[in-house]
A and B are shown apart, each in its own frame.
Chain A
Amino acid sequence: MLAAKLRILGAVLVALVVFALIADLPRRWGSLAISEDDPLARMREFREAVLQENRMAFLALLDAPLRERGDALLYGVRRRLLQAVSWVIVEQQVESDTARFVVHEQGRDGWIYPVRYDWVRRGRAWHLVQVTELPPERAVIAPGTRIGEEADLSRGRENESTRTAGGSGRVEDQDADEEEVP
């Protein structure tokens, strides 16, 4: 009797584990089933695969020729992204079978690293065919900059309220320092 119960419990546990794995699959594999028609979503999956060092998901996004040097690509992109503070798609051209994105990877070092990603559609799925690093450019303002910290905040901290109830308050630019025109 007990053995039977344990068997049922074991089966339930196995089912739960299988269900959990299936449920987690999209995350681990980059939501392939949902987004394969959307190159923009594939770009996001690419980024997350790199950041999470999800090699399987990463390789699944690459077109066959590129997949051959997938590990080197993953290493290179990941090295750059790990020192980036933001990832900005600044240009996107999506045609029926091709797509191109230019991404600004804003580095902590104050440089913007533009990278071009070219995709092609194979059947229903989009695959990355080329990653091209463009010449970096220095950001107008380095990331993390907080401008104006030197301002002397103490100048405004005194309490100057002197008016009491019913007063009309002072308004700017008022005076009566004039005589009438003769």
Chain B
Amino acid sequence: MSQAGRRWVVLAGVVGVFGLVFVLQGIWQHGASSQAPRPARPAPSAVPMTPTMTAVQIELGLKDEQPTRWDGEVHLSEGKLLDMQVSFGGPMARVDGQRFIARSTLDKKKKKDGGIVRPSLLILVDAPATAQIQVKTEQGAFSFRLGDVPVDKPMVLLEGRVAVQRQAGGVRLTGRQTEDDFPALARGADGTVWLAYVEYLPGRPYVLERILAGNFEELEPQGNGDLVRLAKFDGQAWSPGLPVSDDPADVWRPTVAVDGRGQVYVAWAEQREGNWDIYYRVYTPSAGTWSPIQRLTTAAGTDFNVVATNDAAGRVWLAWQSWRQGQFDILATVLENGRPRSDPVVISDSDANDWSPSLTADRRGRVYLAWDTYAHGNYDVRLVVLDAQTGQRLGEALAIAATPAFEARPHIVCDAQDRVWIAYEQGDELWGKDFATEQFKRIPLTGNLGAPLYRNRTVQVKCLANSKLHRPAADLQGYLKKSAVRNRSLPQLVVDRAGGVWLFFRMHPLPGGAGEVWYSYATRYDGQSWGPLRRLAQSAGLLDNRLGLVAYEDGVLCVYSGDGRLRTQNRQQADLFAATLHAAGPTHPPQLVPDDSPVNSAPTAEYQRELQDVRRLREFQLQLGQRKYALYRGEFHRHTEVSAHRDGDGSLEDSWRYALDAGRLDWMGNGDHDNGFHHEYMWWRIQKTADLFHLPPYFVSVHSYERSCVYPNGHRNVILPRRGIRPLPRGNLAGSPEKGAPDTKLLYAYLKHFGGLCASHTSATDMGTDWRDNDPWAEPVVEIYQGHRHNYEHPGAPRSPTAETQIGGFRPAGFVWNALEKGYRLGFQSSSDHVSTHMSYGILFVTEKSRQGIIEAFRQRHCYAATDNILLVVRSGSHLMGDIFESAERPTLEIHAVGTADIAQVHIIRNNRYVYSAQPKQREIRLTYTDLQAEPGNTYYYYVRIEQADGNLAWASPLWITYRPK
């Protein structure tokens, strides 16, 4: 061999070795990522907690007009600094021991205050009230005595440039490697406080580059899951949480109670093999032993929202929400010696959905159970007394709140005088009915007929004393209007040893509601007045964030979760925090006045009409050949607290309440952005709640999310066929009208990998697309209309935008006609988006009422869009809307529509041109349309639009017919 030849051999050998190493590395990496051992669940540790732990919020730079350095340090005259956090402190913000870097900055997008964003410090100290806290900054020093710092209003210092305010809490109880949530507290007779909670262990983080390279299987986390834990507080420290449930598990909100013998009962809902049931377990502290995990319910259908109390005899009572034969009921049972005394008893008696049980017991042996019901077409609060021996209800349910308003989520406690205190949420009448946007004139609509899911909301407190309902004499609403100016939700009550009634609730801290952040607040009724209002430190989190509460010493001990968010995008992990709250002054016997609230909740004529319209759709059947179709009405663009942006969408729970009750939908999917901006725990929680409400064949929840890429690539809502698949991160968004966007093609590949699909929404806005991309398998439908904005069918169509009336930008290239003209085969559906309710539906022709049935119907484009419960069937012989086929006969459509009002106009559109427009002026129409202009060999698409006299609309998906006469 020549020298040159040898060189080539050596070179080839080197290349080969490198190649082999590269391949082996790839195999190893793949193996490492797909077969990685389960992440280790960290062991919790004990956390000391003393009564002198206090948090102080320090707002800096209140008079800043330009970016200013507030860097400095904190000193205490006595006690110690436990923790310090900086918020809005600029890009350099950090904490190092007692020193901090915090600067006011200029945000050009901010319109108010000259664009200045001011920093704030949150310090947690363990110090007596006499401690002097000194803060030295580059703008000057200031100091204050800890005991002088008010809890209900800021104390201004440094010539008005700084404000300080005390907050309750928050001692961090859990570590940063897990997400800790759903705390519940109970106190034993010996004073020990028991804490049950859920610890979520995340999966191994994915490597973005590997996902973008198409390794989509890594978007299915392995080894992640929940674990119910039980910890105790002995007055000095919190013990490490003991494992209670299986690990990993899929659980929902545990509860805890202590029986007369000191045994600790922990109950929770857990999903096993697709069914959610109630499980419980008993811990004997004296022996340190656990009972086996007991399964309390076995029937098909979700059992969840379990709550517990112990009665005067020391028995533990459980109540929960249970899906039985097409509706939620409230069930209860008594546990004695670790076992149910009898079969669970159905307590609620309506033929509608009953929600949110709450239990309490008085000292005389009576047990009280409250819940809310949709029996009258709106939510009302009811309460019953349960027989301590049989568990059966005694007498009729008492109407605690029964007006046409939204009255839900009661929480009840008994005081030492055996009065029952009831708190509940109160919202708008016509909750979840027709609502578009406050900018309804732009659509144009004459107004909003109903209320959205979270516009006006407050908390109410009543008291049942001597079998009569009362209210606190001090006006709670008047107090809240001054002290807690935004919507208030999720009320919870505790009565302390002095008889003071503590009211806790969740509220957004910003006047305009920007971002997804809510805090827990507390106020106390001392018998004569409410106040002061306290914010629980570190309680930032989702709206639906319930506390564990017990009376403790002369106040309240509370444990709650918080994830340090300013909005979902920048949340950290959820941890548990503890705080003790003490009365600010003396307590008086509670002054009460009779409750004179009207009891006038009743189904309205409009509600009855709606039931008939829905029944017509649900009873409809269509046989085409061997296939039998049913209509299935729903949507998959429902935003919630996870991506509410401006506090207008309400909680995850409310989204499912809407689906089942106000909307009476057959299916629904969550539309929160990237299932919570790619935060794994938000995704886990959204998918968990979707599974809780997956109740086929009555109701099907789909796993879905909104994927938001700006114009021209376009927002797309995604449906996945099963749980466990995380949202696709963004790829390369740069593209061209001719070649499309790599990111969108990545999305199509991801959907093909998992069997999902997507739909563009608001296509002619800044959230839309110029239709540079389409894959008919992965993107078979478009959200032609959305309740929150417009109809994107074509310019000039009913409810379509113009440059002047647009909401969210005007991009006419995104109108659906342009997609059809490009040859895209898109079916039509409609969904809601933010805020909007009850006026945008995707109605499917399904052969199976299941998640797969929904995907298959969309895949075939067997669907139509409607703003009301309009029946619309368009077919051609044995072919249904959405089909693509050849016909030897002249293209013919058979149209059947039943409106919810008179059908004012019917239009048939062929290849983006109106070919037939008539004014039937009747409720039901049956038309047979034949195209006399069809040319042999040509393909035409035809679709039908219905316009009702009341303005409601429906759009049938097109049929693509190639005319080939014999």
Contact A161 B741 (CB under 8 A): yes
Contact B737 A141 (CB under 8 A): no
Contact B916 A176 (CB under 8 A): no
- Nearest residue, chain B, Cβ from A149: B795
CB distance from B106 to the nearest CB of A (A): 13
CB distance from B960 to the nearest CB of A (A): 18
Contact B208 A140 (CB under 8 A): no
Answer yes or no: A160 CB below 8 A from chain B CBs: yes
Contact B730 A163 (CB under 8 A): yes
Contact B645 A171 (CB under 8 A): yes
Of A106, A153, A179, the most chain B CB neighbours within 10 A belong to A179
Answer yes or no: B920 CB below 8 A from chain A CBs: yes
Alpha-carbon distance A72/B46, docked complex (angstroms): 102
Answer yes or no: A144 CB below 8 A from chain B CBs: yes
- Nearest residue, chain A, Cβ from B515: A176
CB distance from A151 to the nearest CB of B (A): 4
Contact A104 B812 (CB under 8 A): no
Alpha-carbon distance A44/B708, docked complex (angstroms): 50
Please tell me which one of the listed residues A139, A153, A166 contacts residue B918 in the complex, with CB atoms under 8 A apart: A139
Alpha-carbon distance A106/B909, docked complex (angstroms): 13
CB distance from B560 to the nearest CB of A (A): 19
Beta-carbon contacts under 8 Å, A73-116 to B? 81, 84-90, 92, 104, 106, 112
One digit per residue, 1 when the CB lies within 8 angstroms of any chain B CB and 0 when it does not, for chain A 107-145 equals 000001000000000000000000000000101111111
Contact A165 B710 (CB under 8 A): no
Answer yes or no: B405 CB below 8 A from chain A CBs: no
Q: Tell me whether chain B's interface is mostly helix, strand or loop, or mixed.
A: loop
Alpha-carbon distance A168/B729, docked complex (angstroms): 7
One digit per residue, 1 when the CB lies within 8 angstroms of any chain B CB and 0 when it does not, for chain A 141-171 equals 1111111101111011111111111111111
Given the known interface contacts A147-B795, A166-B208, A172-B766, the answer about A106 and B916 at a Cβ–Cβ threshold of 8 Å is: yes
Answer yes or no: B398 CB below 8 A from chain A CBs: no
In the complex, what residues of A have CB within 8 A of residue B272's CB?
none
Given the known interface contacts A84-B932, A153-B812, A156-B711, the answer about A176 and B732 at a Cβ–Cβ threshold of 8 Å is: no
In the complex, what residues of A have CB within 8 A of residue B908's CB?
86, 88
Q: When A and B form their complex, what is the total count of cross-chain residue pairs whose Cβ atoms lie within 8 Å?
A: 208
In the complex, what residues of A have CB within 8 A of residue B815's CB?
148, 151
In the complex, what residues of B have CB within 8 A of residue A169's CB?
707-710, 730, 733
In the complex, what residues of B have CB within 8 A of residue A170's CB?
708, 710
Answer yes or no: B842 CB below 8 A from chain A CBs: no
Answer yes or no: A47 CB below 8 A from chain B CBs: yes
CB distance from B817 to the nearest CB of A (A): 7
Of A44, A148, A164, the most chain B CB neighbours within 10 A belong to A148
Alpha-carbon distance A90/B515, docked complex (angstroms): 53
Answer yes or no: A15 CB below 8 A from chain B CBs: no
Please tell me which one of the listed residues B834, B918, B926 contacts residue A112 in the complex, with CB atoms under 8 A apart: B918
Which of B182-190, B192-200, B504-512, B948-956 has 4 or more CB atoms under 8 Å from chain A? Answer: B504-512
Contact B673 A141 (CB under 8 A): no
Answer yes or no: B158 CB below 8 A from chain A CBs: no
Alpha-carbon distance A150/B803, docked complex (angstroms): 12
Alpha-carbon distance A140/B643, docked complex (angstroms): 42
The range of chain A's interface size is 35 or more
In the complex, what residues of B have CB within 8 A of residue A171's CB?
643, 645, 673, 708
Contact A147 B794 (CB under 8 A): yes
Given the known interface contacts A160-B710, A171-B645, A176-B515, the answer about A148 and B733 at a Cβ–Cβ threshold of 8 Å is: no
Contact B797 A147 (CB under 8 A): yes
- Nearest residue, chain B, Cβ from A170: B710
Answer yes or no: B907 CB below 8 A from chain A CBs: yes
One digit per residue, 1 when the CB lies within 8 angstroms of any chain B CB and 0 when it does not, for chain A 18-57 equals 0000000000000000000000100010010001000000
Given the known interface contacts A161-B713, A169-B709, the answer about A142 and B812 at a Cβ–Cβ threshold of 8 Å is: no
Which of B110-118, B320-328, B364-372, B383-391 has 4 or more CB atoms under 8 Å from chain A? Answer: B110-118
One digit per residue, 1 when the CB lies within 8 angstroms of any chain A CB and 0 when it does not, for chain B 111-148 equals 11100011010000000000000000000000000000
Contact A156 B770 (CB under 8 A): yes
Please tell me which one of the listed residues A51, A81, A161, A178 contacts residue B733 in the complex, with CB atoms under 8 A apart: A161
Contact A173 B645 (CB under 8 A): yes
- Nearest residue, chain B, Cβ from A27: B966
- Nearest residue, chain A, Cβ from B156: A182
Please tell me which one of the listed residues B113, B569, B708, B711 contacts residue A160 in the complex, with CB atoms under 8 A apart: B711
CB distance from A177 to the nearest CB of B (A): 5
Answer yes or no: B933 CB below 8 A from chain A CBs: yes
Contact A172 B929 (CB under 8 A): no
Answer yes or no: B813 CB below 8 A from chain A CBs: yes
In the complex, what residues of A have CB within 8 A of residue B918's CB?
88, 90, 104, 112, 139-140
One digit per residue, 1 when the CB lies within 8 angstroms of any chain A CB and 0 when it does not, for chain B 900-918 equals 0000010110001111111
Answer yes or no: B288 CB below 8 A from chain A CBs: no
Alpha-carbon distance A168/B156, docked complex (angstroms): 39
Return 7 A-B CB contacts under 8 Å, by A number.
A84-B932, A85-B932, A157-B813, A159-B734, A165-B212, A173-B834, A177-B109
Closest 3 pairs (CB-CB, A-B): A148-B795, A156-B813, A156-B811
Given A85-B915, A169-B708, 9 new contacts (CB under 8 A): A86-B930, A148-B797, A148-B812, A156-B711, A156-B814, A162-B734, A166-B730, A171-B673, A172-B708
